Structure 1
Amino acid sequence: MIKKLNIFTIAVSFVLMALVIALGYFYLEGWKNQRTVNNDTQSKQMLLTLLDYAESQATHQAEEVASQMADGFDSFSDETLKYKIRLIEKANPMFSYAFFAFPDGRVLKSDGYIHGFNAKKSQREYYVRGFGHAESGFVTQPYKNASGGTSVGIVAAVQKSNKISALLVIIIDPLSLMPETGNTFVMSQPNGDVYLADGAVKAWIGKNIFEIKPDFKQISVGDKPFMHQSPDGEWFSVTKNTLENGNIFWNLTNQEEAVHLSDAILYSILLISVFYMSANAIVLFIALRRELRHMPQTVSVIHDMSQGDFSAKAIPSSANELDIINEAVDTLQNEISKIVRVSEQSMDELAQNQRNITEIVQRNLQHCDQELSAVEQVATAATELSSTAADVAMNASHAEEATSGAMDVITASSETLKRSEDITQQVRTSMLESTGTVNELRIHSEKISQVIEVINSISEQTNLLALNAAIEAARAGSYGRGFAVVADEVRALAAKTQQSTVDIQNIIQQLQAQSRKADESMQQNSGLMEEANAISDELSAAFQSIAEKIATVSEINTLVATASEEQSSVTQDISKQIEDISHIVHINQEDTTKTSQFNNDISQLTQQLANELSFFRMKQG
C-alpha cells in the first residue's frame, strides 16, 4: 500500500511539475515576445527619428545655401558658380561633391560642365522632381556611384519669385546621414539591394539582403518580430518596414538578454520543481511508514475474519484514522456474531414452515385435479350444445335462403307471365291488323283482275288492228311493205301483252287464294290468343297465392333462425366462460406446481444457508 501511495504521489508530482513548467514556459514565451516587440519598437522609432532628423538637417542646409545664391544667380558666371560649388564641397565633410542642374538639362560641376550628359534627356530623378514637379528640399533614391559604392542626392531649388533658375544637388554617402548608435539596421530597395547598413551588418552594403538571408523573404510588413540567430550565436529580432520613398527599413534588434533571461528563469523553475518533487516524495514515504506501522496487524485480523474466525484480537493504537478502522472491525465481529445466532434460530423456524407449506401445496394440487376434471366435462357438454344450436341455426338459415330463392323465382315468373300477357296482347293486335291488311290485299287483287281484263281486251283489239293493217299492206304491194313489217311487230307485241296478261291473271288468282287462307288462319289465331289470355290470368292468380304462402313460411324460418342464433350465441358464451375457467384452473394448477417447486428450492436454499452459517466460528457466550 505504501508503495502504491508513493507511486501515486510521484506521478501526481510529475504531473504538477509538468504543468508548472508548461505554464512557466508559456508565460515566459509571452513575456519574451512582448519584450521583443517593445525593444524592436523602441529601436525602430529611435532610428527612424534619427534618419528623419539627419535628412531634414541636410535638406535644410542645402536649401539655405540655395536661398543665399538665389539673388543674382542668373548673373553669375560659370567660374563664379564653380567657385561656389567648391566652397559648398568644403563646407561639410559629409558632402562628396556638388553640382548645378539647369532647366535645359546641363550639369555644372566644380571642374566644368559634364560633356555628353543631359539630365533632362536622361530623366534623372532630381531633374524630374525638381523641374517637373517643382519639389525642393528632398533626398533622391540611392544609386551606385562610379566607385561601386552607394550615394544619395540632397536637392534644393535655386529660385526667386517662384522661378527655378537651377537645382543644387549635393551628393553624400547615405551612411553619413546616420550617427553611430550601436543599433543594427539595414535599408534596402524593394528588390533587396542594400544601400545603408550599420552595426554588425555594415558589410551587407552593396549586396542583396535576400541572397544573404533567404529566410527574410517570408517576412512581411506588419508581422510580429522574426527571431534570427547570427552565425556567432546571438539572437536578433527582425521587422520589415516601408519608408515614405518606397524603400525597406529592416530593424535588427539584439534580443540576447531577453532570450537568456527567459531560458534562465525556465531552468530555475525546472530545478525547483525537481527538488520539490523529490523532497515531497521522501517526506511522504517517511510519514506513511510511521502512520501505517500497525496496518499489517489490522490486515491479519481481517484475513482471519475472511476465514470465518471472529475471535476478538487486540490491535495496538496508531493514534490516527486506523484506530477508527480497528474499532469498526471489532464492532463488525460482534454484530456478525449476533446475526449468525439469530439466523440459526430463524433457519429452524423457516424449515418447519417449509414443511407445513409443502403439505398445503400437495392438498391444493389434488383439489386442482378434481376441479379440472369437472370443468372439462361441463365444457364438453356446453360445446356439444353449442354445436347442436349452431346446426339448427344453420339449417334454419338454409331454409330461409331456399324460401327466399323460391320467392325470387315466383316473383320472376310472375313478371315473366305478365310480360308474356303483354306480348300476347301485342301479337293479337298485330294479327288483327294483319287480317285487315290481308282483306285489303284481296280487294286490291280483285281490282287488279278487272284492270287485267281491260288490258286483255285492248290486246285483242290491237291484234285485230294489226291483222287488218297487214292485210291492207299486202294490198298496197311494195308500197305497204314497210307498214307490213310494223304491223307484224305490233301484232307480235300484242300477242306478248296478251300472254303476260294471262300470266298476271294466274298470279293474281294465286294471291287471292293465299289471301283467303291467311285470313282464315288469322281468325283461328285470334281465337287461340283469347284462350291464352284466359290461361295467363289463371296462372297469375296461382303465382300470387304461392307467393303469399312462401312469405308466411319465410317469416317462420326467420324467427327460427333468430332464436337458434341467439341460443348458439348464449351457448358459445357459456362455453367460452367454461374454457376461461378451465384455463384459470390450469394456471392455478401450474402455479401450485411451481409453488411446490419454489418451496422445495427454498428448502434447499435454507439448508444451504445453514451450511454456510456453519462457516462462522465464534466463542460460545
Structure 2
Amino acid sequence: MVSYRYLDEWKDVNVLKENNAVANTLLVALENTLLSAETSVTALSNSFADYDFDAHTLGIMKEIVVGSEGRFMGVYFSKPSGETFTYSAELSGVMPNFNAKALQREWFVVPMQGRNVISSPYISSTGETIISVASPVRNQNQHIVGVLSIDVDISADLARTNMEYTITAKDGHVLFVHNQTADWKGQNLYSIRPAFKQATETPLLYQDSQGIYYTVSKQDYNGQYDVFSFTQQEETIANRNTMLMMFVFILLGVGLILAWWCSIL
C-alpha cells in the first residue's frame, strides 16, 4: 500500500513536470509571437507618414503582404478623418462606405490616442485565425497623422513550438490548434470534449480514442484566451506500471522466501 502510494505520487510529480514544461513553452511562445507582431507593425507604421491613398501606397502594401510569406493577411492605412485604404485578398483600395472614426473602431481610436492595440483573435472569411495589430503613424514632428493596422496570422509561429495545444476564447471557441486537431478550429472545445470543462492549471489525466494517456491543462493568458496544453504521458504511466510490477514481484519473492524459511524451521 505504501509502495503504491509512493508510485502514484511519483507519477503525479512527473506528469506535472512534463505538463508544466509544455504549458510554459506555449505561453512564452504566444507572448513572443504577439510581441513580434506588434514590433513589426510599429516599425512599419511611421514609414506611412508621407503616403497617400494612391497606386504607390497600394504597391507598398502589396509588398508588405507578399513579402511576409503568409504571415500578414491585410494592411489598412487610415487617415485621421477615418477614411481607410487597404490591401488584402478581399479588397484593394479605399474601403467603400466605411469610416473607422465614425464607427469608433478600437483599432483606429486607440492608436489615434498614441497607443498600440492588439485585437482579440478572430477567424477570417478565408479561414485563417488572425489578430489585428494597429499602431499610430507619426510624422517627423511626432504628430499622429494616421493609423496603420495589419492582420497577422500567428499560427505558423505557434506551430514552430512542435507542441500539442489548443487556444480558445473564454467561451471555449477554438482559435488556434496544432495540426493533429486542425478540424477543431472554429468549433467550441467544450462541445467536442465536454470533460475539458474540468481542466485547470493542474493537469487532467485522460485517455484518447486510441487509449493513449495524455494530460491537459488550462492556462489563462492575459484575460483574453485559454491555452490548453496537451502532453502525452504514455512513458510516465508505463514507467509507473513497470515499477509497480517490480514491487509486486519483489513482494512475491520475499513471501516465497519467508514461506520456505518457515517450512524448514
TM-score, length of structure 2 as denominator length: 0.89
**Structure with greater contact order relative to length (CA < 8 Å, sep ≥ 6):** 2
User: By how many angstroms is 1:162 displaced?
Assistant: 4.2
Q: Residue 157 of structure 1 contacts residue 166 of structure 1 at CA under 8 Å; is this kept in 2?
A: yes
1:57 corresponds to which residue?
A: 36
Match of 2:108 among 127, 149, 167: 127
Match of 1:277 in 2: 255
- 1:201-212 mapped onto 2 (5 Å cutoff): 201-212=181-192
Distance in 2 (alpha carbons) for counterparts of 1:128 and 1:77: 20
Q: What's 1:79 paired with?
A: 55
Match of 2:86 among 80, 104, 109: 109
Change (3 A) 1:79 1:91: same
What's the CA shift for 1:151? 1.8
Q: Are the structure 2 counterparts of residues 179 and 218 from structure 1 closer, same or farther at C-alpha, using a change threshold of 3 Å?
A: closer
Alignment of structure 1 residues 419-458 onto 2, 5 Å: none
Root-mean-square deviation (CA, aligned residues, Å) is 2.0
Residue identity in the other structure for 2:98: F
The 5 A counterparts of 1:419-498 are none
Q: Could you report, residue by residue, the CA deviation over 1:269-291 in whole angstroms, capped at 9, with x for unpaired residues?
A: 11221222123212321x13xxx
3-state SS of 1:233 partner: coil
Q: 1:89 to 1:77 in 2, by over 3 A?
A: same
Give the AA of the match of 1:135.
Answer: R
Q: Is the 8 A contact 2:27 2:221 kept in 1?
A: no
Aligned-residue offset at 1:85? 0.8
Contact residue 43 and residue 251 of structure 1 kept, 8 A? yes
Shift of 1:143: 1.3
Identity of aligned residues (%): 22
How far apart in 2 are the matches of 1:207 and 1:81? Answer: 38
Matched, 1:43 2:22: yes
> 1:95 offset after TM fit, Å?
1.5
Matched, 1:166 2:146: yes
Does the 8 Å CA contact 1:238/1:251 hold for their aligned counterparts? yes
Shift of the 114–162 alpha-carbon distance from structure 1 to 2, 3 Å rule, reads same
Distance 1:148 1:54 in 2: 20
Structure 1: give runs of 5+ residues left out of the alignment.
1-21, 289-621
State the 1:116 CA deviation: 2.2
1:120 positional shift = 3.1
- Letter matched to residue 115 of structure 2: E
Aligned: 1:194 with 2:162: no
| 1:245 shift after superposition | 4.8
Distance change >3 Å, CA 104–CA 245, structure 1 → 2: farther
Query: Are 1:217 and 2:197 an aligned pair?
Result: yes
Whose Rg is larger? 1
Cα offsets for 1:248-282 (capped at 9, x unmatched): 11111222211111111111111221222123212
Any conservation in 2 of the 1:154–1:170 contact (CA below 8 Å)? Answer: yes
| Pick aligned residue for 2:76 from 99, 109, 118 | 99
Query: 1:268 aligned to 233, 246, 257, which one?
Result: 246
* TM-score, length-scaled by structure 1: 0.40
Partner of 1:356: none
Structure 1 or 2: more strand by fraction: 2
* 1:54–1:177 CA contact under 8 A, matched in 2: yes
**How many residues are aligned here?**
259
1:156 aligns with 2:132: no
Q: Which runs of 5+ in 2 are unaligned?
A: none
Contact 1:194 1:205 in 2 (8 A): yes
